[in-house]
């Protein structure tokens, strides 16, 4: 047995076979001339490949119809129609006869020309068809070239997913019922892939550096998402121990769920609000299971990433409406597009930007593309009448950006009025505080904000100059750094002075080790991965506010994050001794 230690992301034990996912670029398509008497043989190769591709897609369509949404099933239905398209086949046959090139090159060249033409169209339906054509042609080419392509969406057995790195879109599209655990060479606790694994409640360990070189496909693997330990080919004794730990996790989880309907209130009556962060609309129907009092952060950009391009207004409206109706009267805070960085919006943002984390992302991108921005704002406004919607602008650096965003929101309202579309006129508008300049001018931003929400993931990385997706410097991303604590204190105080609420939607809000400190700073709302709510609530209900204030004041006097970490750990051990 061999063990590796990485960064724990979501607790739980996962035991299974490793599925090694190393996604390489599609190989170069061969190109060579053929003789006239070879045309018929090449054509028969294509027909065989087409039949194999159709059988593959039929299986996916049946699976999607059973296990996924109608929208996902419709994608495979469209792919089947393309594979059966006789016009497309005749076009290929004619090109084959006239060019006398091998069939792989003919298929690729025709598909490439079609995709380029359709992607240039202003019609969104045609652009979506281009993506389908690209997908179908690659599937046919895989058959012609005898390429066995692994697909995370097509998994038919339970696996532990092992990868060097995963894009957020990989996690969104994988078969989540079959992925029982995730282990990655790259990543950190606050990267977006980690956020998604927590949202989907998949035990995960990231930042393992060499795992993909240490393991073979199909080997037995155990992930301990709490300790960050990954065991390769464990013996029976180790497996029995992990099975016991897994049972303990399940028992503790059941006990915490009993707190669902109790208020998040300290022993001396201080009441806070616990909300959930969601990435996909389907999560909205599940968050009440954990006692969430609303959605404090709906990361709307994942809707755009999943669709492969900017979603049209009607589709966004329907999705936002779905989330709002699922939550009833409870508030839903929709963050406008926070694309950029490791969440590139296809066809709009370049993945080759030199410094994407400090570049064209979030509100900067939205302000530079006002029509795209207004499309989203109109969709949110129209959906607002179906629930309790709130709008939040990400990565605000100063009052100028906030004023520009609010001005475009007013334009979106005017356009809705002109079309006779109803919306909530006094919809609340909030600012995310995740840049040092925003924290330092929180008193100014508070005058034009209905609420604040502190995004600690970015606030920490920007305050401490630490790329949160880089495991080499992840150890420096310390939420208890004195600079971070002072930014939190300044932001919360500025909100309260202006008479507005201060929320936190970064990962720190769901960290049980930070709960008492944040209570002491008098944070009003904690928003986190839904499954983290019961444990945070348990801590809140076991302390008094005055003790938390004393702890927070002591922490603010500390000179290093080591001192703060030690102080908080000792306090927690004293008040919540290990059972």
Residues noted as catalytic: 192, 505
Q: 482-498 vs 456-464: helix axis angle to the nearest 10?
A: 130
Question: What's the CA gap between 514 and 367, in Å, rounded?
Answer: 34
Task: Judge whether 185 and 466 are in contact, CB under 8 Å.
Answer: no
Question: What's the CA gap between 136 and 111, in Å, rounded?
Answer: 9
Question: What does DSSP assign to residue 495?
Answer: H
Q: 39-67 vs 86-99: helix axis angle to the nearest 10?
A: 150
Sheet with 220-224, side-by-side order of all strands: 2-5, 229-232, 220-224, 13-21, 159-163, 179-184, 204-206, 7-10
Across 239-361, the runs of DSSP E, i.e. the strands, are: 273-278, 295-299, 331-335
- CB-count exposure of residue 32 (10 Å: 0-12, 13-18, 19+): exposed
Question: What's the CA gap between 464 and 79, in Å, rounded?
Answer: 47
Please name the helix (run of DSSP H) or strand (run of DSSP E) that holds residue 436, with its range, or none. Answer: helix 436-440
Cβ count near 290 (within 10 Å): 21
| Residue given tokens 């915490």 in the structure block | 256
Task: Judge whether 127 and 348 are in contact, CB under 8 Å.
Answer: no
Task: Judge whether 563 and 528 are in contact, CB under 8 Å.
Answer: no
Beta bridge partners of 8: 205
Which among 187, 140, 135 has a CA at the least distance from the CA of 161? 187
Question: What does DSSP assign to residue 287?
Answer: G
| Residue given tokens 């992925």 in the structure block | 179
Beta bridge partners of 2: 232
Residue 146: both structure tokens together: 């005898």
Task: Judge whether 203 and 225 are in contact, CB under 8 Å.
Answer: yes
Q: Which are the contacts of 86, defined by CB distance < 8 A and separation ≥ 6?
A: none
Question: What's the CA gap between 372 and 388, in Å, rounded?
Answer: 23
Question: What's the CA gap between 125 and 115, in Å, rounded?
Answer: 13
Q: For CA atoms 523, 292, 335, 414, give the dihedral sign.
A: negative
Residue 155: both structure tokens together: 């998994």
What is the CA 150 to chain-centroid distance, rounded?
22
């Amino acid at each position: 047995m061999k063990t590796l230690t990485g960064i724990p992301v979501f607790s739980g034990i996962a035991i299974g076979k490793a599925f090694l996912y190393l996604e390489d670029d599609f190989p170069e398509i061969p190109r060579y001339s053929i003789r006239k008497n070879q045309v018929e043989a090449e054509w028969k190769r294509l027909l065989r490949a087409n039949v194999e591709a159709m059988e593959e897609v039929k299986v996916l369509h049946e699976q999607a119809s059973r296990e996924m949404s109608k929208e996902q099933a419709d994608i495979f239905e469209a792919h089947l129609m393309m594979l059966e398209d006789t016009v497309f086949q005749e076009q290929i046959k004619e090109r084959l006869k006239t060019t006398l090139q091998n069939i792989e090159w003919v298929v690729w060249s025709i598909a490439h020309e079609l995709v380029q033409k359709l992607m240039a169209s202003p019609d969104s339906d045609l652009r979506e068809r281009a993506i389908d054509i690209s997908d179908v042609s690659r599937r046919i080419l895989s058959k012609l070239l005898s390429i066995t392509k692994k697909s995370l969406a097509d998994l038919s057995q339970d696996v532990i997913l092992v990868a060097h790195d995963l894009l957020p879109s990989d996690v969104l599209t994988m078969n989540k019922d079959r992925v029982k655990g995730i282990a990655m060479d790259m990543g950190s606790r606050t990267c977006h892939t980690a956020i998604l694994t927590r949202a989907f409640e998949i035990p995960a360990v990231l930042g393992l550096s060499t795992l993909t070189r240490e393991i073979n496909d199909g080997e037995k693997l155990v992930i301990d998402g709490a300790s960050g330990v990954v065991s390769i080919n464990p013996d029976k004794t180790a497996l029995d121990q992990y099975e016991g730990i897994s049972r303990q996790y399940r028992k503790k989880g059941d006990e915490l769920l009993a707190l669902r309907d109790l208020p998040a209130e300290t022993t001396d009556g201080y009441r806070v609000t616990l909300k959930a962060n969601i990435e996909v609309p389907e999560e909205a129907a599940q968050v009440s299971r954990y006692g969430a009092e609303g959605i404090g952060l709906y990361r709307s950009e994942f809707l755009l990433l999943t669709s492969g391009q900017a979603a049209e207004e009607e589709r966004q409206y329907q999705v936002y409406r779905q989330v709002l109706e699922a939550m009833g009267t409870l508030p839903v805070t929709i963050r406008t597009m926070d694309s950029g960085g490791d969440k590139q919006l296809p066809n709009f943002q370049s993945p080759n930007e030199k410094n994407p984390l400090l570049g064209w992302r979030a509100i900067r991108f939205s302000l530079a593309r006002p029509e795209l921005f207004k499309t989203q704002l109109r969709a949110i406004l129209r959906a607002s009448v179906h629930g309790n919607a709130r709008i939040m602008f990400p990565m605000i650096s100063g009052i100028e950006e906030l004023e520009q965003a609010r001005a475009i929101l007013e334009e979106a309202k005017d356009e809705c009025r002109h079309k006779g579309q109803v919306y909530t006129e006094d919809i609340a508008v909030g600012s995310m505080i995740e840049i040092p300049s925003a924290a330092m001018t929180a008193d100014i931003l508070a005058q034009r904000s209905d609420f604040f929400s502190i995004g600690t993931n970015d606030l920490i990385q920007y305050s401490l100059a630490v790329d949160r997706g880089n495991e080499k410097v992840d150890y420096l991303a310390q939420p208890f750094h004195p600079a971070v604590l002072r930014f939190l204190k300044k932001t919360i105080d500025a909100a309260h002075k202006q008479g507005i609420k201060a929320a936190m939607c970064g990962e720190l809000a769901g960290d049980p080790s930070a709960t008492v400190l944040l209570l002491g700073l008098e944070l009003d709302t904690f928003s986190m991965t839904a499954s983290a709510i019961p444990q945070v609530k348990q801590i809140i209900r076991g302390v008094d506010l005055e003790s938390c204030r004393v702890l927070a004041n002591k922490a603010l006097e500390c000179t290093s994050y080591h001192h703060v970490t030690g102080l908080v750990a000792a306090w927690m051990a004293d008040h919540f001794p290990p059972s």
